[in-house]
Amino acid sequence: MPETVALGIDVGSRSMELVALDSAGHVVDIVRLPTTVDPKAQLRRVLHGRTARAVTATGYGRDLVAQVFPGEVAAITEITAYALGAPLVRPGVRTILDMGGQDTKVVALSPEGHVLKFEMNDRCAAGTGKFLEHMATVFQMSVEEFGAFALKGQRPLPINSMCTVFAETEATSLMAQGNRPEDIALGLHAAIVRRTASMLRRVGLVVPWIFAGGVARNPCMVRMVEESLGVTAWVPADPDTVGALGAARHAWLRVSP
């Protein structure tokens, strides 16, 4: 395996990703693990035996990396990480939507790749992957199955509350009234899309734009956001590693000649 020069680590609420770059800045390794209730133990697993000339961490648990890795670790915000990583997977990108487990972010970039404006929803689970994960359990299925299930819906039933507890109550009530579960699931997705589309409009959607983060793996969310905005999204092949890629780029720039 080529020598690892730079490591980028994104420690999220649901998963952590590591991206390794060689001296030319090419990706030589990608690792993804669930964060679990013991993120430090998971970090020890993902970092075991690894060396690099520079390491950069991002994500809500970024400060934990310095407690585990023996060398110096730089820390950057997720906004900075995505601004660095997104242009590598989609050159010329102007708008980034990242929907993760804990928060939703929208970032506007200049033609040169500088952050112009951003908005972040991180005060509660509403509109995040955690919201979808919780609602999937109400339907007794995994969050990975939930999006495909919702796509079977014919009409999105209205869900008025974005509070996880109240939304669950609404969904349960709609089930008790005999409504199709697929239509309820579609309605839950539509409620998130309304909030997400509003964030994108406030920040200012400029194409090309990418949909990143773990929720970008949900086909219903991707389709409904595109339909709401009337603009096709570009979804990376590995959408939840964009932050780690940006962190790795930050590390590589610190040591590149």
Q: What is the pLDDT of residues 178-204, one digit of tens each?
A: 999 999 999 999 999 998 999 999 999
Angle between helices 164-176 and 129-138 in degrees, nearest 10:
30
Query: pLDDT-based confidence at 129, cuts 50/70/90?
Result: confident
Instruction: Give all domains of the chain, ordered by start, each with its CATH number.
Output: 6-81+241-255 (3.30.420.40), 92-235 (3.30.420.40)
| DSSP code, position 34 | E
Contact 10, 241 (CB under 8 A): yes
Contact 159, 131 (CB under 8 A): no
* Exposed / middle / buried, residue 93 (Cβ in 10 Å: 0-12, 13-18, 19+): buried
Provide the pairing of β-strand 6-11 with 54-58. parallel
List all residues 6 or more positions away from 78 whose beta carbon is below 8 Å from its beta carbon: 10, 58, 59, 60, 98, 105, 243
Mean pLDDT for the stretch of residues 214-220: 94
Can you tell me whether residue 131 is helix, strand or coil?
Answer: helix
The single-letter code of the amino acid at 200 is L
| DSSP code, position 81 | H
Provide the pairing of β-strand 104-109 with 115-121. antiparallel
pLDDT over 90, % of the chain: 83
Kindly state the helix (H) or strand (E) to which residue 57 belongs, with its residue range. strand 54-58
Q: What is the pLDDT of residues 133-187, one digit of tens each?
A: 989 999 999 988 999 999 999 999 999 887 888 888 999 999 999 999 999 999 9
Query: pLDDT-based confidence at 105, cuts 50/70/90?
Result: very high
The pTM of this model reads 0.92
Contact 52, 23 (CB under 8 A): no
Can you tell me whether residue 153 is helix, strand or coil?
Answer: coil
Q: For tokens 């199955």, name the residue.
A: 145
Q: What is the pLDDT of residues 15-69, one digit of tens each?
A: 999 999 999 999 999 999 999 999 999 999 999 999 999 999 999 999 999 999 9
Ramachandran bin of 59, using left for φ above 0, alpha for ψ from -120 to 50, beta for the remaining angles? left
Q: How far apart are the first and last CA of the chain?
A: 21
Ramachandran bin of 37, using left for φ above 0, alpha for ψ from -120 to 50, beta for the remaining angles? alpha
Query: pLDDT-based confidence at 2, cuts 50/70/90?
Result: low
* Exposed / middle / buried, residue 53 (Cβ in 10 Å: 0-12, 13-18, 19+): middle
The rounded mean pLDDT for the chain is 93
The single-letter code of the amino acid at 67 is Q
The single-letter code of the amino acid at 77 is T
Residue 183 has which token pair? 């239509």
Query: pLDDT-based confidence at 12, cuts 50/70/90?
Result: very high
